[in-house]
Structures are given as structure tokens and as C-alpha cells.
Amino acid sequence: MNWTEFTQAAPELAQLFKERLDATGLALIGTIRKDGTPRISPLEADLFEDHLLLGMMWQSKKALDLLRDPRCLVHSVVSDKDGSEGEVKLGGRCVDVMDKGLRERSAQQTFDTTGWRPEEPYHLFWLEIDDAAYIKYSPNGDQTVKTWRAGSSQQSRLRKWTGSRLED
Amino acid sequence: MNWTEFNKAAPDLACRGRDLFERVGVLFVGTLRKDGSPRVSGCEFFFFEDDLYLGMMWQSHKALDLLRDPRCYIQSAVIDKNVTGGELKLRGRAVEVSDSDTSERYGRALKEATGWRPEGPFHLFAMDIDGAAFIEYQQNGDQLVIDWRSGRPSRERLRRWTGSGVVDDQK
């Protein structure tokens, strides 16, 4: 589903991802290389109209990965060791944006907010979201975990740290 | 190769990598889920003896991924949109440490360095490094790239920003 549908299906997770994205404008994306091994790359991401849009430089490695295998994982950036800000993951597939109108409107939006306009050719994908997870670590070792998968409702649980492992 | 060997083969990359990892104190590991799709997870690390170690909670998803397929990718944490300080990537395999002496020495050294050590079972992996890259983004859009793969010397180049993409400018 697209971002708007995701915000309806799992509003709390969508809000948590949006907060993390708004803080930096940046995310990490995991893709699959030609040999089947994983790759991680930083990328700029924007929420625009109904989509989480991922813009990439023309012929960049991550874009070529996605054209070969659209499965990916978008991860919020984490900038401190204790994980107090929480981390959000969105799993799904990247869809190549072919709609010229959407490309043009999002380029205009980028120009309006940054003063810089991406010039064609460049890659633009929207994320088709299949699952999402949020994990936040407390100082005592407990984890707050929220998960969601398309077709189910969001699950929340506290995993308590026993000193050597977590218990649901 | 282990971290010490990597540090001999590509000292510039190893030095920048260690600084970038230690700046935030957490790195990201890319693993393969059962269905072959990618997973990205924050991960604790520790440099000890000759290796870069990844410590993981017992039965965590990323650890189970690596036990099934050790091929992985390490990415330094990125803190802002300008990727200040650059980014470092490592390709290779995470090799499970099954020797209890090494795990015990690791636990003691970690406790000494950080005041904390895992109690009870945990997963410990040592990185077997095949390739690495450092990328630094300059204000004019140019990229300084240093890359290396096992068996070759490292290579430094500037990728020049053309206004819509980058082209290689061999140094």
C-alpha cells in the first residue's frame, strides 16, 4: 500500500516514522546486490501527496539494485547509541515512478523547499509498504516493540529484559 | 580477512571506518531475511584483539539471518543530510564465534571498556572483510571515493557533480 493507506492502517507507526524522517530528511535503505547480498545506502526521502518518495541519482548502485529486485527495507537514521529515539523500519517494494506529473510536482516541491531542482535523468521510486516495526530501548533494557503487517492490525508489546534475555 | 589484516591492506579506510563507527557507537548491519529480501538493523560492535566483533541479542532476527547466511554489509551511522564526515561501508561475512574462550575474553574486555557485558547466552560474530568503501560528499556535489577490495590496493578518486549526476575523475 502507499503512504496514505499506511497512515490509515497503522497511524501510530506512520507518525513515528514521519517524526524520525522530519528530524533529518534522511533514511537508510537496504537493497539486494546483483550477487544476492545486501547493500545499505543513505538516501533522501520525502512524504509527498500519497507517497513516501525516494529520489536517487541516475544509475546509482542502489537504484540499479531496485530496478533488478524491488524488495527493500527503509530504516530511520539512528544517531545515538542508547536508542532512546527509537528506530522505525518499513519493509516493502520500490515502485519506479513513471507518472511525469508526479515527478514534476515533486521536483517543484523540492525546489520550493530547498532552492534546488533535480534535473532529469534521475530515479524516483515510491515505497509500497508491506510491513513496519518500531523498537525503542529503555535504559533498563526493556524494549517497546510495535509491529504491523499488511492485512493485520498493529501489535504493541513490551519485551522485558530479565538480565540475560527478553520476555514478552 | 580480519580487521588487523584489513588495517594493513587498506589503512586509510580502516582508520576512517573506526573513527566513523566510534563517533556514534552503533553501526548498521544489512542481512538477508529467509525470503532473500534485505533487513537493516542497528548493531553494537566492539574492536577487540584482531577483529571487529558484532554482538547480538540471543535469537534476534539479525543473528538468525546471519546463522542462515553470513553474507552481510556494514554501514556507518549517518547523522545528517550532508553526511558530515563521510560514510564507510564494509562488505563481507559475519563468522560466528563458537569458541567459549574468545567469548569470555570478549566479555571481559567489553566490561572493562564500557562497564557492561552480556549475561547469559548471546550471539557473537567476527567480521571477515572482503571489500570497503568510504564516500565523502563535498559542498559542490563532488564525491571523494576511496574503495578497496580484497587482493587489490585501495583506489581514491573524485566523482564530479555535473548538475544532474556524477562522473569519474581519476586521481
What is the per-residue pLDDT across A48-58, written as a single tens digit (0 to 9) for each? Answer: 999 999 999 99
In terms of DSSP bridges, do strands B71-76 and B87-96 run parallel, antiparallel, or are they unpaired?
antiparallel
Confidence at residue B119, expressed as pLDDT on a 0 to 100 scale: 83
**B154 lies in some domain:** no
The predicted model gives A82-87 an average pLDDT of: 78
With 0-12 CB in 10 A as exposed, 13-18 as middle and 19+ as buried, what is A166? middle
Alpha-carbon span A90 to A128, nearest angstrom: 9
Q: Give the pLDDT band (50/70/90) at residue A12.
A: very high
Ordered domains of chain A (ranges, CATH): 3-136 (2.30.110.10)
**B165 lies in some domain:** no
Alpha-carbon span B66 to B98, nearest angstrom: 14
CA distances in angstroms from A30 to A92, A107, B37, B38, listed in the order given? 11, 24, 9, 6
Confidence at residue A53, expressed as pLDDT on a 0 to 100 scale: 97
Phi, psi of B95 (to 5 degrees): -100, 125
Confidence at residue B170, expressed as pLDDT on a 0 to 100 scale: 54
Each residue of B2-39: pLDDT tens digit? Answer: 999 999 999 999 999 999 999 999 999 999 999 999 99
Mean pLDDT for chain A overall: 92
Interface residue of B20, B35, B40, B66 to substitute, partner A, most A CBs within 10 Å: B40
Instruction: Identify whether the C-beta of residue B157 lies closer than 8 Å to the C-beta of residue B145.
Output: yes
Confidence at residue A27, expressed as pLDDT on a 0 to 100 scale: 95
Contacts of A44 in chain B (CB under 8 A): 81
Confidence at residue A75, expressed as pLDDT on a 0 to 100 scale: 96
Percent of chain B with pLDDT over 90: 81
Inter-chain CB proximity A32 and B36 less than 8 Å: yes
Helices and strands (DSSP H and E) totals, chain B: 4, 9
Mean pLDDT for chain B overall: 93
Q: Which three cell numbers stand for residue B14?
A: 580502516
Range of the domain at B48: 3-132
Helices and strands (DSSP H and E) totals, chain A: 4, 9
Alpha-carbon span A130 to A152, nearest angstrom: 11
Instruction: Identify whether the C-beta of residue A155 lies closer than 8 Å to the C-beta of residue A135.
Output: no
Please, which residues 76-135 of chain A have a Cβ atom closer than 8 Å to chain B?
77-81, 83, 87, 89, 91, 118-122
Q: Give the pLDDT band (50/70/90) at residue A137.
A: confident
Residue A23, chain B, CB below 8 Å: the answer is no
**B140 lies in some domain:** no
Residue B80 has pLDDT above 70, yes or no: yes
Confidence at residue A164, expressed as pLDDT on a 0 to 100 scale: 63
Percent of chain A with pLDDT over 70: 95
**B171 lies in some domain:** no
Q: Which of A29-43, A93-107, B7-21, B70-84 has the lowest mean pLDDT?
A: B70-84
**B138 lies in some domain:** no
CA distances in angstroms from A68 to A35, A58, A90, B25, B39, listed in the order given? 11, 15, 20, 33, 17
DSSP state of B26: -
**B25 lies in some domain:** yes
DSSP symbols for A62-123: HHHHHHH--EEEEEE---STT-TT-EEEEEEEEEE---HHHHHHHHHHHHHHHS--PPSS-E
Rounded to the nearest angstrom, the gap between the alpha carbon of residue A148 and the centroid of all alpha carbons in its chain is: 14
The predicted model gives B121-149 an average pLDDT of: 94
**DSSP bridge partners of B72:** B92
**Complex ipTM value:** 0.94
Q: Give the pLDDT band (50/70/90) at residue A160.
A: confident
**DSSP bridge partners of B148:** B132
Confidence at residue A83, expressed as pLDDT on a 0 to 100 scale: 66
- Which residue in chain A is spatially nearest to B75 when comparing CA positions? A40
**B162 lies in some domain:** no
Contacts of A55 in chain B (CB under 8 A): none
Confidence at residue B15, expressed as pLDDT on a 0 to 100 scale: 97
The predicted model gives A94-122 an average pLDDT of: 94
The predicted model gives A6-34 an average pLDDT of: 95
DSSP symbols for B70-130: -EEEEEE---STT-TT-EEEEEEEEEE---HHHHHHHHHHHHHHHS----S-EEEEEEEEE
Each residue of B87-109: pLDDT tens digit? Answer: 999 999 999 999 999 999 999 99
Inter-chain CB proximity A119 and B71 less than 8 Å: no
Q: Give the pLDDT band (50/70/90) at residue A141.
A: confident
Instruction: Identify whether the C-beta of residue A111 lies closer than 8 Å to the C-beta of residue A48.
Output: no
Per the structure, the count of domains in chain B is 1
Inter-chain CB proximity B26 and A28 less than 8 Å: no
Alpha-carbon span A125 to A66, nearest angstrom: 9
Alpha-carbon span B63 to B55, nearest angstrom: 9
Inter-chain CB proximity A40 and B28 less than 8 Å: yes
The predicted model gives B131-152 an average pLDDT of: 94
Q: Which of A43-47, A62-66, A155-159 has the lowest mean pLDDT?
A: A155-159
**B35 lies in some domain:** yes
Nearest CB to B120 within list A31, A41, A165: A165
Residue A163 has pLDDT above 70, yes or no: no
Which CATH number characterizes residue B23's domain? 2.30.110.10
**Greater model confidence, B131 or A144:** B131
The structure's pTM equals: 0.94
Residue B91, chain A, CB below 8 Å: the answer is yes
Beta-carbon count within 10 A of B101 CB: 8
